Structure 1
Amino acid sequence: MVMTKTLVGWHIEVEFMEEPPHTAAAAMLRLPDGRELRARGDTSRHPSDPEQLRVGEEVAAARALQELARQLLDKAHIEIDELGKVPSYPL
């Protein structure tokens, strides 16, 4: 029996808005069925910290991606529960 692999790709876009010392990230995940999940992440630099825009972007993006991950898990649990055979176990 020959098994074939199917490659599936998802696209995530992250945009940043910066008004020092605040950095915000907006993330959007486009799913294969055309639906989109959106999330935001924010961070603020402490006044005594040196200005490093890249670090603020990384923190804000990580927070937005964490929120996207939570939304994706919630969506998956709802879809599993709708099948009605075995309940899902959200984290």
Structure 2
Amino acid sequence: MTHTLVGWHIELEFAERDSHTRAVALVRLPDGRELRAHGDTNRHPADPEQLRVGEEVAAARALQDLARQLLGKAHEEIDELGAVPSYPLM
């Protein structure tokens, strides 16, 4: 049995403006497609400014969006084969 190590790199970028943080996640897949996902968060005015926390929440939301897109892509590819339908968990 042959084992192949495959890796994907996900890029995360952040934009912060006042109490709003936006994250963009980008992954380039081996088939050449790129998936881009977004996540946003807003700090409550009563909360102290903690940029790291805003980045973590926005990143988590972007990664959730990316996961949803990857699952959708995988289910489309399974369904194209037509043998057994897939059951997306979205």
After superposition, the CA RMSD in angstroms is 0.6
CA deviation string 1:9-28 (max 9, x = no partner): 11100000000200000110
Q: Which residue of structure 1 lines up, in the alignment, with residue 5 of structure 2? A: 7
TM-score by length of 2: 0.96
Give, in whole Å, the separation in 1 of the partners of 2:47 and 2:35: 33
Q: Which residue of structure 2 lines up, in the alignment, with residue 78 of structure 1? A: 76
**Structure 1: 5+ residue stretches without partners:** none
Largest Rg, 1 or 2: 1
For residue 71 of structure 1, give the secondary structure of its aligned residue in structure 2.
Answer: helix
In the TM superposition, structure 1's runs of 4+ consecutive aligned residues that sit over 6 Å from their partners are: none
Give, in whole Å, the separation in 2 of the partners of 1:4 and 1:55: 42
1:57-72 counterparts in 2 under 5 A?
A: 57-72=55-70
**Structure 2: 5+ residue stretches without partners:** none
For this pair of structures, how many residues does the alignment match? Answer: 89
Q: Which residue of structure 1 lines up, in the alignment, with residue 27 of structure 2? A: 29
TM-score by length of 1: 0.95
% same residue: 81
Give, in whole Å, the separation in 1 of the partners of 2:38 and 2:88: 22
